[in-house]
Amino acid sequence: MFLELKAQATSILKDAIQKAGLEIEDSELYFETSSYADLASRAAFRLASLYRQNPKELAARIVSAIEIPDGSYIEEVSASGPYINFHAGRHYLDRTVATVLEEKEKFGCGAPKDKILLEHTSANPNGPLHVGHIRNSIIGDTLARILRRAGYDVEVQYYVNDMGRQIAVVSWACERFELDLSRKPDSAIADVYIKANVELDKNPEYIKEIDALMEKVEAGDVRTIDSFNKAVSLAISGIKETLLRLNVVHDKFVSESTFLKSGAVHDIVERIKATGRTKTDKGALVVDLSDYGFKKTLVIQRSNGTSLYTTRDLAYHEWKAGQADRIIDIFGADHKLISGQLRATLNVIGIKEPEVVIFEFVSLPEGSMSTRRGQFISADELFDRVTEAALEQVETRRPETADEFKKQVAEMVGIGAVRYDIVRVSPEKSTVFNWKEALDFEKQGAPYIQYSHARACSILEKAKEEISWNSSAEIDPSLLVEDTEIDLIKKMASFDSIIDLAARELKPHVLAIYARELADAFNQFYRFVPVIAAEDEKVRAARLALVNCARIVLTNSLNTLGIAAPESM
RNA sequence: GGGCUCGUGGCUUAGCCAGGAUAUAGCGCUGGGCUUCUAACCCAGACGUCGGGGGUUCAAAUCCCUUCGAGCCCGCCA
């Protein structure tokens, strides 16, 4: 709705500027939102410097040339000093309510768009996901949901490292130490992986054994490959379990080794060689990317002839480029340099480059997390503790409810809180994990939004019982005239523009903030406007419809954030 | 040493790319509100050199330079 409002305002403003005998670039016709107006233009400032005239006078001149077409969402345009303010009218509010009721779960969806292949998480299968990894999963999964709602056809992939050095260490560790199969499989893998690394640090001569394993895999040795696969699938099964609990879904798990087996790795090395950019440096094959701003060369083949992660990743990206219009990768800050080099190399051989979303690190008070050193907080532990804390809350707040209900709510609230806490801050901020904050539900986070949703559901439920309310009954939205009602409608109306913005800029935190503001608007309405107890029957019907609208948009927001929307909590 | 990112009330954080009307919100703090649709809520208040310095501009949290602090990265790991 808001996107349409903005489009109408843009067209009205453009015509008026032209009619006033002025000219301005389309890129200057953007709006800001403020407490003064639904949309405010600063075009007069730009025109003032262009024409060397007073911006106030120009604003007045443009406003006097404004013509609002019939049926427009815009009701009034006024100049306030140099600002040109656009005010939405009743028609906009009424259409918003009607559209939400009509489109329901589709409200806020964009027109069908291109195919996007999005890769996220892709953590090495050498242990369980930790709180750093799930920042990747949550940003990636939320982005996938946002892009789908924006209209894109999104396929999500997890790239499985099943043949790197770390996996060789895992495989070696599995032969050397007993796996504790009573543990979750990824944790059992981490146990022996950590032990193996201690061993390798003590006795560096074992490194030769690791090298030998990697050479065997690269050469296609069946027994070694089989042992790698066993370890990898154990770890991946545990990782999948964690992701499932987090409500994160991948469409495909793609193994690195497929590109070696298929010959794609060999082919892409040949393609890069053909550019004349490669040379041999101490036996290794390197690419010169100095004209792309990379001072150091990129190694794409070890001196023993084996491939590296980078080489296999190049082949993976070549494959991805062939099956989608856009490729998006979610990477941690440690991948900044390598992803830049990857993009440059792909550019050199004429392959579509990925768009890379980088997020900064989550560290512990004692330093950065490391699976190798066993220094990490697993996602599983976080989920357990957070849902336990949520359960305590449900027990004190809803003691009368059944145990099964309490458990379900605790899971929805706990996992929702984790997802919201991570997605609400921009990816470029580095954070330090802290238990006290992670277990705190008092702030306006996911539970606040979920609670608003539950309240809306509760009103509708009660209305069904007491006055046999029916969601498809005809209503008159123009009876919604209270300030809090209008604020709520306007907030709901902007959902589509939030999805559009988040999708365009690949910024999921924009939606997280919106959802909180929407809940805020609903809670204020809830506090000040009686619904079931409304004095007039028609007003009551309109308000019930508004509550239903709020429920729908809250559900859509929560769904897009991958957070459960409980009907009662 | 070089590159990238961040620095906004006690804490966490939006805004910065496209400079403009009172700098966003939460936690915490002070005070108030449940016989009314779930108080995981609402209302009011205090708290800010937008890291420091310089510059550009009619106008800078936003652009440029510089400096300090934090994180990440810098070829045969991923």
- Sketch the domain layout of chain A as residue ranges: 2-88, 120-260+317-363, 379-560
What's A294-312 look like in SS3?
Answer: CCCCEEEECCCCCECHHHH
Long-range contacts of A287-292 (CB under 8 A, 24+ apart): A287/A345, A287/A348, A289/A341, A289/A344, A289/A345, A289/A348, A292/A340, A292/A344, A292/A347
Q: Which nucleotide does the CA of A123 lie closest to, via C1'?
A: B78
- Nearest residue to A148 via CA among A108, A119, A120: A108
The CATH H-level (homologous superfamily) assignment of domain A379-560 is Isoleucyl-tRNA Synthetase; Domain 1 (1.10.730.10)
Q: What pLDDT shows up at residue A138?
A: 97
- A485 CA vs B50 C1’ separation (Å): 34
Q: Provide the CA A425 to C1' B12 distance, Å, integer.
A: 10
Give the distance, in angstroms, between residue A32 CA and nucleotide B62 C1': 15
Q: What is the pLDDT of residues A319-347, one digit of tens each?
A: 999 999 999 999 999 999 999 999 999 99
Quickly give A567 CA vs B31 C1' distance in Å: 34
Pick the CATH number of A2-88 from 3.30.450.90, 3.40.50.1820, 2.60.40.10, 3.30.1360.70: 3.30.1360.70
Q: How many CB atoms lie within 10 A of CB A160?
A: 22
Is the CB of residue A47 less than 8 Å from the CB of residue A69?
Answer: no
Q: Encoding tokens for residue A44? A: 């007069």
User: Torsion over CA of A128, A130, A135 and A139, rounded to 10 degrees?
Assistant: 10
- At A34 the pLDDT is 84
pLDDT of residue A512: 96
Q: How many residues does chain A have?
A: 569
**Protein CA at A444 to nucleotide C1' at B30, angstroms:** 20
pLDDT score for A366: 85
Convert the pLDDT of each residue in A371-419 to its tens digit. Answer: 999 999 999 999 999 999 999 999 999 999 999 999 999 999 999 999 9
Contact A94, A88 (CB under 8 A): no
Question: What pLDDT does A115 receive?
Answer: 98
Identify the CATH homologous superfamily for domain A120-260+317-363. Answer: HUPs (3.40.50.620)
Task: Give the three-class secondary structure for A11.
Answer: helix
Distance, Å, A434 CA → B11 C1': 12
Q: Using the 8-state DSSP alphabet, how is residue A278 labeled?
A: E
Residue A426 CA, nucleotide B8 C1', distance (Å) = 14
Tokens, residue A357: 């979303």
- The whole-number pLDDT of residue A123 equals 96
Which CA-bearing residue is nearest the C1' of B57?
A49
Nearest nucleotide to A42 (CA to C1') is B20
Residue A442 has what pLDDT? 67
Instruction: Tell me what pLDDT residue A436 has.
Output: 87
- Nucleotide closest to A40 measured between CA and C1': B21
Protein residue nearest nucleotide B3, by CA to C1': A337
Both tokens of A196, joined, read 């193996």
Q: Nearest residue (Cα to C1') for B6?
A: A429
Single pTM value for the model: 0.96
Q: How far is the CA of A365 from the C1' of B70 (A)?
A: 13
Q: Which residue has the tokens 């004429």?
A: A350
What residues does A287 pair with on adjacent strands?
A278, A298
ipTM, interface predicted TM-score of the complex? 0.95
Q: Which nucleotide is nearest to A367 (CA to C1')?
A: B71
Strand B, nucleotides < 7 Å from a protein CB: these are: 2-6, 12-15, 17-18, 20-22, 25-28, 33, 36-43, 58-59, 70-78
Where chain A has pLDDT below 70, the residues are: 442-443
